[in-house]
Structure 1
Amino acid sequence: MKVEFESELWIWDARRDETWTFVSLPVEASEEIRDLTAGQRRGFGSLRVRATVGRSSWTTSVFPDSGRKTYVLPVKRAIRAAESLTAGDLTTVTVELLDL
């Protein structure tokens, strides 16, 4: 499964130092992912993905966020620097589930 969407980068409230910066997947895509992957989750409910932002691609995990009712994708510092992104910026993201 591959999902392309636009999302705003946001900082995890527990760490306001931009160490943990995320984008949220759309609610509809998150529901579909939950249905497709029932029982296949790893630690913290994570799922392995291949993510792309701009010209940068990397392998990481998405995590369920019960407060937002979506999966969230961490966007590491190297990707944010390479794509000139900061918290609050809107960006196009592609997420492809691995291990299905």
Structure 2
Amino acid sequence: MEVESFTVTGTLWLWQAAEAQGGGWHFLTVDGPVAAEIRYAALGRANRFGAIKVAATIGGTTWRTSLFPHKESGGFLLPVKADVRRREVVAAGSAVVAELRV
């Protein structure tokens, strides 16, 4: 199985329902042509909910996670863990560049 890499640039955002609770999930939206390319590269490897396992890198931090389907954009959501945000000094509203290996 060949590993393909994709670069995504975007702004981190905080899931709205989580704001009211004082914490929450931070995401990077993966949409447009890159989402289509990832979908094609992962044919037959998505789980039954459409999630795709990836190795993600922001700055010098790499972690394993999954991309989750995102109805609103037609693409995917990349969850960015608190540990990654702390190490890379990013938060909701920060512009980031992520490398995704599928």
Using the size of structure 1 for normalisation, the TM-score is 0.87
1:18–1:92 distance in 2 versus 1, CA, 3 Å? farther
- Measure the CA separation in 2 of the matches of 1:34 and 1:44: 13
Q: Which residue of structure 2 aligns with residue 2 of structure 1?
A: 5
Report the alpha carbon displacement of residue 18 of structure 1 after superposing the two structures with TM. 4.2
Equivalent positions of 1:21-40 (< 5 A) are 21-40=26-45
- Paired residues in the alignment total 97
- The worse-fitting range, judged by mean Cα deviation, of 75-84 and 17-26 is 17-26
- Measure the CA separation in 1 of the matches of 2:30 and 2:23: 19
- Measure the CA separation in 2 of the matches of 1:24 and 1:46: 14
CA RMSD in angstroms, aligned pairs only: 1.5
Asked if structure 2 preserves the Cα contact closer than 8 Å seen for 1:19 and 1:77, the reply is no
- Measure the CA separation in 2 of the matches of 1:47 and 1:64: 9
Instruction: Give the percent of matched residue pairs that are identical in Structure 1 and Structure 2.
Output: 30
Secondary structure at 1:48 match in 2:
strand
Gaps of 5+ in 1: none
Gaps of 5+ in 2: none
- The worse-fitting range, judged by mean Cα deviation, of 27-36 and 78-87 is 27-36
1:66–1:6 distance in 2 versus 1, CA, 3 Å? same
Asked if structure 2 preserves the Cα contact closer than 8 Å seen for 1:50 and 1:96, the reply is yes
Q: Deviation per CA, 1:2-38, whole angstroms, max 9, x where unpaired?
A: 1112110001123224421000113111112223333
Q: Which residue of structure 2 aligns with residue 89 of structure 1?
A: 94
Amino acid at match of 1:94: E
Equivalent positions of 1:1-100 (< 5 A) are 1-16=4-19, 17-97=22-102
- The worse-fitting range, judged by mean Cα deviation, of 40-49 and 3-12 is 40-49
1:66–1:54 distance in 2 versus 1, CA, 3 Å? same
